[in-house]
A and B are shown apart, each in its own frame.
Chain A
Amino acid sequence: MSKFLSLEGIEKRFPIPGKEDYVAVTDVNLEIKENEIIAIIGHSGCGKSTLLNMISGLDAQSEGAIVLENKHVQGPGPERAVVFQNHSLLPWLSIYKNIEMAVKKVMPELSATELKQRVEKFINMVNLDQAKDKLPDEISGGMKQRVGIARALAIKPKVLLMDEPFGALDSLTRANLQEHLMRIQESVKNTVIIITHDIDEAVLLSDRVIMMTNGPHATIGEVLEVNLERPRDRVSLQHDPEYIRCREAILSFLYEKFAKEDE
């Protein structure tokens, strides 16, 4: 139970001219263990993306501290790799080049052969060997997101941050990507924080589900431990009492305790 990543009293305020600041997120305290998979779930507008942006450093918190391995997080960095919802691949670079660009920058010490090996290893990991010379616009949305994951993992991050990574995909593609992610996680242990609004996704993927209350002044409402063995199988889980318990706990949190009317 070493302290790996901790959020201490995080608050985010957005100034509104002539009015009081808008407090999006407040009083968030959370400790995350190494190699733990955390899902953060909540209605839209609960500040879950804001929270992730503060961990990634793309956004600065107004109060509190984010500490990763005893170091205060300041600004973005490759040790906190992000998989963006819209994949954010550079459209003028091939799949291979997109990953190579990231690895080259983060690991300048690699020789040409090592660089090539590393890039190809991660392309292989997401089963994109056939498509590696294609441009992002030539492959499907699910494949793009796999490239996004490969790019993030290839730079050997301490924490992998995923902002609704499968949110823009259809449910079959989404299931396929969840399988990919679980399989990869089996071989490359990583600390993962995944933002989602999908209950099944949260239970299936994570060790703990963090449930956020509605904004403004959103904060952590409940934390749910998911005690399911890995590897997990989505079909047999449907009848697993623990899976059903977790699902119901989240459902009741989102639709009874913190139901959102105006949606």
Chain B
Amino acid sequence: MKSELLKKIFLPIFVFSLIIQLWSGIAQIVEDFPTPSGTYVAAFGGVNVDGDEIEGVLSDPFYIENQDDKGLFWQIVESLKRVFAGFILAIVVGVPFGLMLGMSKNAQYAFDPFIQIFKPISPLAWLPLLLFIFQDINMTAISTIFITSIWPIIINTALGVKSVSEDYMNVAKVLRFTPLEKITQIILPVSVPYIFTGMRLSLGIAWLVIVAAEMLTGGIGIGFWIWDEYNNLNYHNIIIGIIIVGLVGYLLDFIMGKIADYFDYTKKGRA
């Protein structure tokens, strides 16, 4: 057990050092590419290569200079607001729709081809159309997230409903459950783990989409911030932004996973 724990700690540290090596290698080959140490200084402050004492972008992530100039923390908050607005909208529409698809063969026949066609469309393809419709940064970002992240929720909810065993439905029939009781007492408890799997995938997509969407729409947000730093030639900050996007995405997935486990009856009482 103990050696298992040591491996869990030291092997990632080993891989981390490999990544830093690789990064340093790229920085030597590509001209002006930020070095790991330079990026660290750009993030947390210190003395840069030119010998100047500088503030890092993460030294004060909470500052608010004005409406368009805020610290990184607020950029992330703005992005998360849009992500959750789109995500919640996708849940509210997607779960009932998925339930319907799972319960009705005809609904499945009717909608399945279109779900399969809409599902692989890139958010970047939707964006111009939605921007044209809404003419508004927030609405465009939210609706793009909605339309690209709803599919896993629909598909997984329908799958959950279809996985309800005939035996449970027989119990419901013998007890003469109404259709509503069948949904609340049998179908939902069985499908909840599936629905949460769908939601987890969907939240992952939403976070992918927001960065791309904000780059095109502008305003405040982590995606636009990265693009802005590119335009300002602050290449260090691009890498900082990428790392932050990764960390936040990981955190979202982790929390969503914990929530999913909580609602999954198959994982209760066995831990």
For the complex formed, measure the closest distance between the CB of B91 and the CB atoms of chain A, giving whole angstroms.
21
B190: chain A residues at CB < 8 Å are 92
Known interface pairs A91-B265, A92-B189; A105-B170 also in contact (CB < 8 Å):
no
Q: How far is the CB of A162 from chain B (nearest CB, A)?
A: 13
Contacts of B171 in A (CB 8 A): 84, 88, 90, 102
Residues of A within 8 A of B168 (CB): 88, 90
Contact B186 A90 (CB under 8 A): yes
Mark each residue of chain B from 154 to 193: 1 if its CB lies under 8 Å from any CB of chain A, else 0: 0000000000000110110111110001000110011000
Which residues does chain A contribute within 8 Å of B268, judged by CB atoms?
Answer: 92, 135
> Which of A84, A102, A138, A155 is B167 in contact with, Cβ under 8 Å?
A84
**Sample of 7 further A-B pairs with CB below 8 A, known A76-B170, A80-B174:** A58-B173, A76-B176, A88-B170, A90-B186, A90-B189, A91-B265, A91-B266
Minimal Cβ-Cβ distance residue in B for A77: B176
Which single member of B175, B181, B269, B270 contacts A78 (CB below 8 Å)? B175
In the bound complex, do residue A82 and residue B170 qualify as a contact, i.e. CB atoms below 8 Å apart? yes
Give, as a whole number of angstroms, the nearest-CB distance from A88 to chain B. 4
Contact A84 B265 (CB under 8 A): no
Residue A56 CB within 8 A of the other chain: yes
Tell me, yes or no, whether A86 is within 8 Å of chain B by CB.
yes
Contact for A76 among B173, B185, B265, B269, CB less than 8 A: B173
Please indicate which of the listed interface residues A102, A105, A135 has the most CB atoms of chain B within 10 Å of its own CB. A105
A39 contacts the other chain (CB 8 A): no
Task: For A85, give the chain B residue with the smallest CB separation.
Answer: B167
Complex Cα–Cα for A84 and B181 (A): 21
Instruction: Find out whether the CB atom of B270 lies under 8 angstroms from the CB atom of A137.
Output: yes
Does A245 reach chain B (CB closer than 8 Å)? no
Q: Which residues of B contact A90 (CB under 8 A)?
A: 168, 171, 185-186, 189
Q: Mark A77-113, 1 if CB is under 8 A from B, else 0.
A: 1101110101010111000000001100110000000
- 4 closest residue pairs by CB, A with B: A92-B265, A88-B167, A76-B173, A92-B189
Least CB distance from B175 to A in Å reads: 5
Pick from A58, A75, A76, A105: contact of B181, CB below 8 A.
Answer: A105
Taking a contact as CB atoms under 8 Å apart, the answer to whether A105 and B175 are in contact is yes
Cβ–Cβ < 8 Å partners of B189 in chain A: 90, 92
Residue of B with least CB distance to A152? B174
* A148 (CB) vs chain B CBs: closest residue: B171
Least CB distance from A58 to B in Å reads: 6
Is A72 in the interface zone, CB < 8 Å from B?
A: no
Chain A, interface size category, equals: 20 to 34
**A78, A84, A138: which contacts B170 (Cβ < 8 A)?**
A84
Which residues of chain A are within 8 angstroms of B174 by Cβ–Cβ distance? Answer: 56, 58, 76-78, 80-82
Cβ of A101: which chain B residues have Cβ within 8 Å of it? 175, 185
Question: Nearest B residue to A92 by beta-carbon distance?
Answer: B265
Query: How distant is B119 from chain A, measured CB to nearest CB, in Å?
Result: 30
* A116 contacts partner chain B, Cβ-Cβ < 8 Å: no
Q: Which residues of B contact A102 (CB under 8 A)?
A: 171, 175
CB distance from B157 to the nearest CB of A (A): 17
Nearest-Cβ distance from residue A57 to partner chain B, whole angstroms: 8
Instruction: Pick 7 A–B contacts, CB within 8 A, sort by A.
Output: A76-B176, A77-B174, A84-B170, A84-B171, A105-B175, A105-B177, A105-B181
A134 interfacial by beta-carbon distance below 8 Å: yes
- Distance between Cα atoms of A3 and B168 in the complex (Å): 32
C-alpha gap A101/B265 in the complex (Å): 17
Cα distance A24–B174 when bound, in Å? 23
Q: Which chain B residue has the least Cβ–Cβ distance from A56?
A: B174
Residues of chain A lying within 8 A (CB to CB) of residue B186 = 90
Q: In the complex, what distance in Å separates the CA atom of A80 from the CA atom of B177?
A: 15
Contacts of A138 in B (CB 8 A): 269-270
Shortest beta-carbon distance from A59 to chain B in Å: 10
Interface code A129-157, partner B: CB below 8 Å = 1, 0 otherwise?
00000110110000000000000000100
Query: Are B175 and A137 closer than 8 Å at their CB atoms?
Result: no
Q: Which residues of A contact B167 (CB under 8 A)?
A: 84, 86, 88
Residues of A within 8 A of B173 (CB): 57-58, 75-76
B181 CB to closest chain A CB (Å) equals 7
Determine the distance from Cα of A87 to Cα of B176 in the docked complex, in whole angstroms. 18
Q: How distant is A72 from chain B, measured CB to nearest CB, in Å?
A: 16
Q: Which residues of B contact A135 (CB under 8 A)?
A: 265, 268-269
A187–chain B nearest beta-carbon distance, Å: 23
Closest to B171 in A: A88
- Chain A residues 45 to 75 lying within 8 A of chain B, measured CB to CB, are 56-58, 75
